[in-house]
Amino acid sequence: MEMKPDQSSVQTPWYRQPMIWMVIGIPASAVAMGAVMLFLSISSFDGLVADDYYKKGKEINRVLERDSYANAYNLSATVKISAEGEVLAALDHEPGLQRPDQIELKLLHRTRAGLDQSATLVAFGNNHYRGSIEQLLSSHWLVQLETENWRINGQATLPGNDLVVLNAK
């Protein structure tokens, strides 16, 4: 009498076992995704975290004082930025504010600090200022005019807007 092998005693090769592929596949996919994440973190710099965040945090009171000063004089400005990079600014304020000889214009990109630009605007005429900047990437920008004593802010999509209105907040 010949005995037939039982189905349970027949051995299949290891590579045909689904449990083996699950045991190998899960750690292998974790290693592969880790390599992809490492590559992405090394190759792309987002620039969102400031190196001197503590120093910037300590300066918040000074910033608030500058905003209060601008608010006290009801400071506002209209800034025109041409496609060629010429900047004209007209400053409007309550009487009593000493007119500065120059003011600083800052164009701050919302997410990429490497694209930020600044320019010194020099006074000409009565409360008018002139300067120039490099050509801008088309994006949404935070626009600031500031001196040692005050700061005013606004927002604009540049290039595109002819005039940007800045106000004390």
**In a structure prediction context, what are the per-residue pLDDT tens digits for the chain, which is 169 residues long?**
555 656 666 788 888 888 999 999 999 999 999 999 999 988 887 666 667 777 777 777 777 888 888 888 888 888 888 878 888 888 888 787 888 889 999 988 888 888 888 999 998 888 889 999 888 788 888 889 988 888 888 888 877 766 888 887 7
Query: CA 100, CA 139: separation in Å to the nearest integer?
Result: 30
66 contacts 104 by C-beta, under 8 angstroms: no
- Give domain 53-167's CATH number out of 2.30.30, 3.40.50, 2.30.29, 2.60.40: 2.60.40
Task: With H, G, I as helix, E, B as strand and everything else as coil, classify residue 91.
Answer: strand
Query: CA 114, CA 48: separation in Å to the nearest integer?
Result: 10
Distance of CA 36 to the CA centre of its chain: 25
Query: CA 93, CA 75: separation in Å to the nearest integer?
Result: 5
Show me where the domains of the chain are located: 9-43, 53-167
